[in-house]
Chains A and B, each alone.
Chain A
Amino acid sequence: MRLPAGGRIDRARPLAFRFDGRYYSGFAGDTLASALLANGVRLVGRSFKHHRPRGVFTAGPEEPNALVELGRGAERTPNTRATTTELREGLEAFPQNCWPSLRFDLMAVNGLLAPLFAAGFYYKTFMWPSSFWEKVYEPLIRRAAGLGRLSGAPDPGVYDKVHDFCDVLVIGAGPAGLAAALAAGRSGARVILAEEDFELGGRLLGDRAEIAGGSGSAWAASVAGELKTLAETRVLRRTAVFGVYDGGTYGALEQGPAGGVVRCRYRKIVARRCVLASGALERPLVFADNDRPGVMLASAARTYVNRFAAAPGRRAVVFTTSDDGWRTAADLTRAGVAVAAVVDPRSDVGADVTALAGDAERLTGAAVARALGGAALRGVEVAGADGARRVIACDLLAVSGGWSPNLALTAHLGARPVWSAQAQAFAPGATPEGLRVAGAAAGRFTTAEALADGFAAGAEAAEACGFPALRIEAPGAGPEAARWATLRHIANARGKSYLDLQHDVTASDIDLAHREGFRAPEHVKRYTTLGMATDQGRLSSHNGLALLAQANGAAIGEQGPTTHRPPYAPVPIAAFAGAERDGAFRPVRHTPTHAWAERRGAVFVEAGLWLRAQYFPNPGERDWQESVTREVRAVRNGVGFCDVSTLGKIELFGPDVATFLERLYTNAWANLAVGRARYGLMLREDGIVLDDGTTSRLGPEHYVMTTTTANAARVFQHMEFARQVLWPELDVQMVSATDQWAQIAIAGPLARETLARVLDPGFDLSDAAFPYMAAAETTVLAGAPARVFRVSFSGERGYELAAPARLGEALADALMAVGAPFAITPYGVEALGVMRIEKGHPAGPELNGQTTPGDLGLAKLLSRRKDYIGRRLGERPGLTDPDRQTLVGLKPIDRSQRLRAGGHLVREGAPASAAHDEGHVTSTAYSPTLGHSIALALLARGAQRLGERVRIVDPLRGGEVVAEVCAPVFVDPGGERLRG
């Protein structure tokens, strides 16, 4: 029921919303939970395993019961806590984990079978027949488990990432956090105050505390006002700090406000100091049927009446083991809720405390033995001090088992909380560097203590960052009691006493686990699933540990809590991803001729992050094969060009470059003349091929290297390691220039004529002046700097022309224009690949990180006269074994058959089995030059088996081809064509 007056809701702003198909009305300032309670809705969910009816249990993020599906269609968000969901106009929420309806849930039969479904039951059954597990049992279990449903559609939300930096991060805006932020903020430090709630104040909003002669909430409002005036202080509401990471890095999740564009914002906050003022969590009590809708934490009951003006019941009983719980009776009475009784198992409660009960019956030395009712609480059975039992009618039972400091964030870096007998709670152990715990989280439970601690912590943090120390006198606060006894389980065989409300772990499950030998807290957690629900044990862990300690005959402090893991507040997967999704998952690298190729109608293909032109279809061509064949023929018979800018390009300068290259490459480099290029082979230190490419000497102390596209970054890092770490004495400077140069391969018998027309006049391209493996700098397109290399990947007369990247499209246009008389043909990576296979050049599938120079037929490039990276370890017997698989060519005996990469090689006549597996096909192509399919392969002792026949078996896809082993160079093995 909505109370006629009071609360922090805005009664001028009514909001209509729907839950479970019915319309309701609430106010701005409500949560979904408070609005439901104000509308008299008690049953809000079903539990995970027993499907028991459940009501709102808390007023915060620790809520185990009131989880709903929020929104519909693609916007559906499962497992949303009603207790933290800010009410907005038109909000739609649906109950989850029930069928056919919330009120009548057939799965509730599970509750009756609970003895059968005790902890770990599934490990003991469903074993026969074996295949029934996947086919029958597991699908049933899966369907019954889970909570809410994902929409099944791509998440339409917008997510954002922010990097924040500050001097002092204050986590939590209760009394201690507000005080800390104020103290640090006034000193001039850069402060971020992060509060999970949409209002600042913490418990000051839900309790009737008194500060400086006024209300606690008024004080909170005044501090919030002052914080706004501090230029270097930022207040982040709706922001939960969910994790502590190394180096003073904190993860936080900010919920976007209703109606905003951004659904959530993931913040990485780097802070020099942190004040953790995360407060404390009230502990439930464990007794029979303690899960009935209407049973609620005492602090939550106070919050609902004081902050939200929503009465969670008409007639209440308070069951408490803490002094603090007694306040609930006073607050409820003041709000007009009848309080029938306050039940406290302690017999030594002070008169000042019991006075808080007002007219309610005071039952000390007594306990609630059982809650009565089904879908709603009807009453409680109380066992008196004399053992007599009586029933007290009520529809609200407020429970309080004392408070546990909220310490999860102190433990993320591995520290373990320690038991404090004085506080009857776990207290922070070692804390992360730079983090101090303050307020209730540090065991300062009264408002006065929390304020003083907060001011001191804020001032200390600011001072540690070099700001003046401000000593602020804490305002006076009203007296409060803060004393409690730790849990006793009120045993009653007739009902289930829940520890973990969401996962339906009961006190008897702990006993069972103990009986079966699961005695370490982590074993109990894993066996019973205690504390593994969405609330991560916030409510259950203390009571679970207490019961386990009882069973083990140990003190609770001896065994310690289970490990706290981030995130403390659950983070949507989409929030961690931010904008890096769909097409923006990874950056796209475009070549300098990309737009030009797009206009030509090129088909593109991903090559790492690059998009490269795969082929350029002409009108009327049937398929890619026809286009590629045309492109290859054009190069072999006329001239073509291809953008090869994706090759890694590394500029090297200095007097010691030649020495450096000698050590990097396996072959000789000391004698490379200016104006010459050379092919080089690079190994890893373990003797395996890392990469290959050409390096050209453009000046006495200036070289430019090319690497393969795939290995560009790795080779650069490898070289930087060699330069900076292995041989810092060498005078070499290097820089990556991959993105600075457009590089275009011009290949074919007419390449020279084409190139001559595009270079600025005056450059002598004659074979005498510019022979195979020559390199030079010149100009192009009327004065733009250019580099020309006479190298060939296709096997034809070839040049690579480099110009500043911005000129890529102009260069392509110029080539098309000057090459028109020769029917110049742009070609893509597919034709490039075909021609390299025809020439037997190893590429990605052969440079796979498993092959040696010998495997690839490149042993002749291993110099014997010098040291180089990979030389010594390349001599190990396993890498020089004559039985290794080496590079060969394959031709199908039946020339009409197609070879497929990935097929394995078996000797003719041998069975297709692992024992006879002698290698595999690495690369294949249809060779337009030969008119049939060809392949490169790695074959055991391949070099000695030319002319032999092998079977290519492909059990995965079916089919088998017999092929002839040949040398891996299919076209122009003598290399006459590339020399012209």
Chain B
Amino acid sequence: MGAPGSPPSGQQAYSTWRLLREALNGNRGWAPVWRDAEPRSEYDVLIIGGGGHGLATAHYLSSVYGIHNVAVLEKSWIGSGNAGRNTTIVRSNYLLPGNIPFYEFSMRLWEGLERDLNYNAMVSQRGVLNLYHSDAQRDAYARRGNAMALHGVDGELLDREALRRMVPYLAYENARFPIKGALLQRRGGTVRHDAVVWGYARAASARGVDVVQRCEVTGFRISNGKVMGVETTRGPIGANKVGVAVAGRSGQVAALAGLRLPIESHVLQAFVSEAVKPVIHHVITFGAGHFYISQSDKGGLVFGGDLDGYNSYAQRGNLPTAEDVCEGAMALMPMVGRARVLRQWGGIMDMTMDGSPIIDRTPIEGLYLNAGWCYGGFKATPASGYAFAHLLATDAPHETAAAYRLDRFAAGRMIDEKGQGPQPNLH
């Protein structure tokens, strides 16, 4: 991976000393974290979508590939989509060779993020546990853990006793499905999601990238099969290269360019409880139910489960999923029963037909697509930005993202981790 350059000169450095000095000065010296830019009429590269992926793309374009004449166009406020409504989990415990190197690359970028950005996004490598409940599930995790190991990714297969020492509070004795052990990735964990958005925006902005909010793309200017720019609610903007990073809305934006995608938009709910003192110290995924959980630094239990299961652009779900998720919680760890759900919300997932993402050129010259993140989008943010920047800068796929082709469905080279086939709500 290319080494990101030194901090840009336009940036106000953050440090403990600076914090102390400002505290004594009434915190009056802090500058805006990013410039709220007005759009200019022409850029080298336009990124549609001011979420984590779009802003990370801009950051790596400017810091690694030296392309600074870039604008990120966000229809609302930056981070208003899935970047700000996910459950903050990062991990690279994937199964298939098309996925592992990419997510591991992402994990390595997470590990260096605060130094790269001079921004503490609270990367917390507290360990991700995937529980297994049968010999067959154990064997499947062994297959996965070995695939990870062959790619240089950390993983450990814990038996029941080792797991019990780590997380004694699970319902080992009384569970409907016995807990027999877990696949552990110690380097996995959580990251403060909003901070990722702000950190990338700050770093990109300091290198000259224009972060343009309240600027919705309403059309593409395409001439002879070649992209010339976009129409927006704030006027036309020209560029020879346009990258789309609007997961959740990819189908809608692609349709503006006349493209149909192997994607359905689905709602995935997440839940947070009132803050309680620390009780859950890892990320835990329940293999026999639809449930995963971690505890935020503020104390809220952050948890979720499966998709609601139907196409949706409404950022909210319904009660059956809430019940299903909470049943999983009570089956696995009945000590959380009295924690109260404080908020329930939904994010719109770009669900692809094989459950894996797309980072590729499109049939329209100069139009590039970063889409289909299903519910793996947050953990992918740094590598997605890096690989998309690489593609935009070089017109060739980044080595870790070479499998994420748009034509893989026509070629029969799906990357189907779950083996569910072309039915997005099952991935």
Interface residues of A (CB under 8 A from B): 48, 76-79, 113, 115-116, 118, 121-128, 130, 133-134, 138, 141-143, 145-155, 157, 159, 161, 243, 245-246, 249, 251, 268, 412-414, 508, 512, 515-520, 522-523, 526-527, 529, 533-534, 536, 563, 565-567, 570-578, 580-586, 588, 605-606, 684-688, 844-845, 848-850, 873, 876-880, 900-904, 912-914, 917, 920-921, 923, 953-957
Contacts and interface: CB of A to CB of B under 8 A. Distances in A.
Given A151-B335, A573-B330, 11 more contacts: A122-B122, A123-B195, A124-B15, A125-B120, A127-B119, A154-B334, A243-B319, A519-B36, A567-B343, A845-B140, A848-B419
Nearest to A147: B275
Nearest to A582: B174
A145 B275 contact: yes
Interface in B362-396: none
Contacts of B295: 142
B421 A686 contact: yes
Most chain B Cβ neighbours within 10 Å, of A517, A686, A913, A954:
A517
**A-B pairs with the 8 shortest C-beta distances?**
A849-B419, A902-B142, A155-B337, A876-B412, A146-B299, A878-B412, A574-B337, A517-B32
Nearest to A847: B419
Contacts of B76: 520
B152 to A, nearest CB: 8
A115 B414 contact: no
B19 A125 contact: yes
B15 A125 contact: yes
B179 to A, nearest CB: 12
A511 to B, nearest CB: 8
A914 B97 contact: yes
Contacts of A850: 416, 419
Contacts of B189: 134
B124 A133 contact: yes
Contact of B143 (A141, A563, A879, A901): A901
Given A122-B120, A157-B337, A508 B27 contact: yes
B100 A582 contact: no
Given A125-B120, A576-B326, A150 B339 contact: yes
A533 B272 CA distance: 11
Interface stretch (B39-47, B110-118, B219-227, B242-250): B110-118
Nearest to B343: A565
B32 A515 contact: yes
Most chain B Cβ neighbours within 10 Å, of A116, A126, A145, A518:
A145
B171 interface: yes
A141 B334 CA distance: 26
Contacts of A536: 342-343
B65 interface: no
7 contacts: A115-B26, A574-B337, A577-B327, A582-B175, A585-B328, A879-B412, A955-B150
Contact of A570 (B30, B97, B101, B274): B274
Most chain B Cβ neighbours within 10 Å, of A577, A586, A876:
A577
Contacts of B143: 901-902, 904, 920-921
Given A150-B279, A151-B338, A606 B421 contact: no
A516 B31 contact: yes
Nearest to A78: B276
B276 A147 contact: yes
Interface string B68-100: 000000001101100010000000000001001
B16 interface: yes
B260 interface: no
B233 interface: no
B357 interface: no
B256 interface: no
Contact of A123 (B31, B79, B119): B119
Contacts of B289: 585-586
B319 A268 contact: yes
B27 A512 contact: yes
Contacts of B51: none
A552 to B, nearest CB: 12
Given A570-B340, A583-B176, A901-B139, A956 B146 contact: yes
B263 interface: no
Contacts of A955: 146, 149-150
B142 A573 contact: no
A78 B338 contact: yes
B156 interface: yes
A696 B145 CA distance: 42
A134 B125 contact: yes
A685 B422 contact: yes
A572 B340 contact: yes
A964 B345 CA distance: 53
Contacts of A148: 276-277
A146 B413 contact: no
Contact of B20 (A116, A130, A159): A116
A580 B330 contact: yes
B111 A878 contact: no
Given A147-B299, A585-B176, A844-B136, A414 B314 contact: yes
Contacts of A125: 14-16, 19, 120
Most chain B Cβ neighbours within 10 Å, of A126, A146, A876:
A146
B123 interface: yes
Given A134-B124, A565-B344, A567-B341, A878 B414 contact: yes
A978 to B, nearest CB: 26
Given A115-B27, A878-B408, A914-B100, A245 B133 contact: no
A72 to B, nearest CB: 13
Contacts of A582: 171, 174-176, 330-331, 334
B120 A573 contact: no
B19 A585 contact: no
B164 interface: no
A526 B413 CA distance: 41
Given A567-B341, A576-B326, A577-B330, A583 B146 contact: no
A199 B177 CA distance: 43
Contacts of B276: 78-79, 146-150
Contacts of A913: 150
Given A606-B134, A684-B421, A903-B142, A512 B30 contact: yes
